[in-house]
Amino acid sequence: MEAEARIEAELRAAIARATGPDCPPKFAKALEHAVFPGGARVRPKLCLAVAGACGDPHPALSSATAAALELLHCASLVHDDLPAFDGADLRRGAPSVHAVYGEPLAILAGDALIVLAFEIVARAGAAAPDRLPALMALIARSVGAPNGIAAGQAWESETEVSVETYHRAKTGALFVGATMAGALAAGADPGPWRVLGEKIGEAYQVADDLMDAMGGDEAGKPVGQDVALNRPSCARELGTDGAVAKLRSLVAEAADAVPDCPGAPMLRELVRAQAKRLVPKNLAAAAA
Amino acid sequence: MEAEARIEAELRAAIARATGPDCPPKFAKALEHAVFPGGARVRPKLCLAVAGACGDPHPALSSATAAALELLHCASLVHDDLPAFDGADLRRGAPSVHAVYGEPLAILAGDALIVLAFEIVARAGAAAPDRLPALMALIARSVGAPNGIAAGQAWESETEVSVETYHRAKTGALFVGATMAGALAAGADPGPWRVLGEKIGEAYQVADDLMDAMGGDEAGKPVGQDVALNRPSCARELGTDGAVAKLRSLVAEAADAVPDCPGAPMLRELVRAQAKRLVPKNLAAAAA
């Protein structure tokens, strides 16, 4: 099965489990709304690409790991959109979860998606339980405290912030989680896969800053939030052309960072191809 | 080490890990505030009591499991106190997390505590990885959707609610998780331990309704929330005397539900002793 189909099937099965008998009906709809239709599913695709490059001997485990990363990403978006944070009524071009179902169900949906992520990895890990401790600890590190998404988001409540630490936790950690967990789920040493995740994470952060500043049509969310909320932004620091140049250089570094393995050439090509999606369309021609 | 000391040590180690280098300073304080000083630590004590009754061959795993249940309980309290839910400024007699650190950090603290719970069980499971898939799936079921705490809380957003389903998920699920996970962490069959968790969960729900109605001094939180928020309450349905009688009968059923095992007599005694704490002090003499 193609990566995209594997990810969607795994996410469907996970949401079907969570919304099974006895689930409050509105809550079930909120959970579904948080995950479908999806965005680009970049993190799970990256995870499966790395697992594939490492031979992918346990596809059920790598599929569950990939889907778990996406569920965690979706959970962070649902909470990020809450009035206490961005107060965004739009996400992926559609009303955000709290805009449709209210704050209580949005908070609870995020919570339940986090739980569900760990549940599906635990279940899939029955086939290779020796890998579970390291795999689940790695996934946890990429979303919790002190270095994961939640900690990254929490930097927005501090007065003194290291922009690098903030971005590494808020955006980078889950990309590092995706490459390293993909390797671990395939039984490979995750260490050599860290830099690839870091570089892709940095590239995405630059792309996100650019889209926020320029209003790329892929964003499907309010524009100008970084300035409005006085958040650090690469596009503000380097200017648009500088940020696009930095993005291209990070993508090249990411492709170079793919460790030698049977699937390396294919994976390097994939990184470069995906990267084209990152430059907002209205900038791609000008800066190419 | 006594159960209480094991639980506090494990929680201290978990929070120390989560608040390590690079953790945003206010966020670190919010995480600490959410867990210390604790309440009665009833769920982790129950978990360790069951593990002990089953022989407790892997105390590191049972301690981590017990602490994880408490972290998940604390996470649910932090989110439950948010303005979108109870809007409670007090918890355990002290200001609630959002009252001190604001809504964003309270939402993120709950998220990070959920993640941390799974992380510490995964790490401790390295000594007995074969148990991890079932153990972590069980813990997940007790807090997520469709039958765990988050789903239970979500029933408050529905217009038609089965009170039994609501209480079973919101309060009962984590008690069932405590008894069954305690057994699983000790390598025993968790099935026979379900009823004990259910009965204790029901008893706690009745006690909680009574305290909300009567303002037991143990509550340390606002009184009269059930009536104010129009939530189903056993104390409203049965009256105070009826609710106290139901509580006593549930405790007796719980003690009877302890499966036969080497530690059963001690555990039955513990259930009865703990139960005395459940009746609000101003009712204990009258209803005895």
Which residues on B lie below 8 Å from A141 (Cβ)? Answer: 119
Residue type, B278: L
pTM: 0.93
**Measured in whole angstroms, how far is the alpha carbon of residue B164 from the centre of its chain?**
18
Q: Which positions 10-29 of A are in contact with B (Cβ < 8 Å)? A: 18-28
* Minimum-distance CB partner of B104 among A28, A101, A156: A156
The answer, for A261 touching chain B at a CB cutoff of 8 Å, is no
Of residues A74, A69, A3, the one with CA closest to residue A38: A74
Nearest chain A residue to B30 by CA distance is A154
Q: What is the ipTM of this complex?
A: 0.93
Task: Check CB contact under 8 Å for B23 and A146.
Answer: yes
DSSP 3-state assignment of B38? coil
Tell me what percent of the residues of chain A surpass a pLDDT of 70.
90
pLDDT of residue B23: 97
Q: Which residues contact B246 (CB under 8 A, 6 or more apart)?
A: B206, B234, B238
- Average of pLDDT values for B144-162? 94
Q: A149, exposed or middle or buried, with CB in 10 Å at 0-12, 13-18, 19+?
A: buried
Domains of chain B: 3-287 (1.10.600.10)
Task: Check CB contact under 8 Å for A144 and B115.
Answer: yes
Task: Check CB contact under 8 Å for A145 and B19.
Answer: yes
Task: Check CB contact under 8 Å for A18 and B165.
Answer: no
Query: Which is it for strands A90-91 and B94-95: parallel, antiparallel or unpaired?
Result: unpaired
Distances in Å between the Cα of B77 and the Cα atoms of A45, B74, B106, B107, B205 are: 35, 5, 10, 11, 15
**Mean pLDDT for chain B overall:** 90
DSSP 3-state assignment of A258? coil
Question: What digits encode the pLDDT tens for the residues A192-217?
Answer: 999 999 999 999 989 888 888 876 54
pLDDT of residue B217: 46
Which residues on B lie below 8 Å from A108 (Cβ)? Answer: 79, 150-151, 153-154
Confidence band for B287, pLDDT divided at 50, 70 and 90: very low
- Average of pLDDT values for A37-65? 95
Tell me what percent of the residues of chain B surpass a pLDDT of 70.
90
- Gap between the Cα atoms of B53 and B178, Å rounded: 13
- Average of pLDDT values for B245-250? 92
